[in-house]
Amino acid sequence: MLQVSKSFLGTGWKFPPSFDKEQQSIALVSEEQDIRESLFILLSTRPGERVMRPDYGCDLQAFVFENINATNLNFLKKIISRSVRYFEPRIDLDDIALNLDRIDEGQLLISLHYRVRTTNARSNIVFPFYLQEGTEVRLYQAS
């Protein structure tokens, strides 16, 4: 069987950045894993956070502490779709599914179903978005 090189999909830093002790270098990912890492970085980055790319990111943080209703969920899908289509040209986004099963715990699971353009391989990721940050924070009281 003919082995096809997928090096055209790219290589990038593993997210979160770490070091490979064996190679004595920064840990890298390639091919489809690089696309998954890029999507996590995109969804985790606020617009304006990157110095040389102020437009890069997906403004999910605007939804922290917001009411979960049909309007906000549709707007959230629109923001994600626009960001992925603009900043990740290696894929075609097929669907965005929002799982509300853990909403009482303050977590919204965002599933991106996509197809890698050059290989036509289908894949998906699930991004956990926390609607209430710091829910396990306890106040320290001096005695």
Identify the CATH number of the domain in which residue 119 sits.
3.10.450.40
pLDDT of residue 7: 56
Domain that holds residue 116: 7-130
Q: Is residue 2 part of a domain?
A: no
pLDDT of 143 higher than 50? no
Establish if 142 belongs to a structural domain.
Answer: no
Strand partners, 128: 109
pLDDT of residue 137 exceeding 50, the answer is no
Question: Does position 2 have pLDDT exceeding 90, yes or no?
Answer: no
pTM of the prediction?
A: 0.76
Determine, yes or no, domain membership for 139. no
User: What digits encode the pLDDT tens for the residues 66-100?
Assistant: 888 999 999 999 999 999 999 999 999 999 999 99
* Burial (CB count <10 Å: 0-12, 13-18, 19+), residue 38: buried
Q: Is residue 29 part of a domain?
A: yes
Q: What's the pLDDT score for residue 28?
A: 77
Residue 135: HSE in the Cβ half-sphere, 13 Å Cα cutoff? 10
Rounded Cα–Cα distance for residues 93 and 115 (Å): 7
pLDDT value of position 10: 67
Question: How confident is the prediction for the chain on average, in pLDDT?
Answer: 82
Q: Determine how many CB atoms are found less than 10 A away from the CB of residue 60.
A: 22
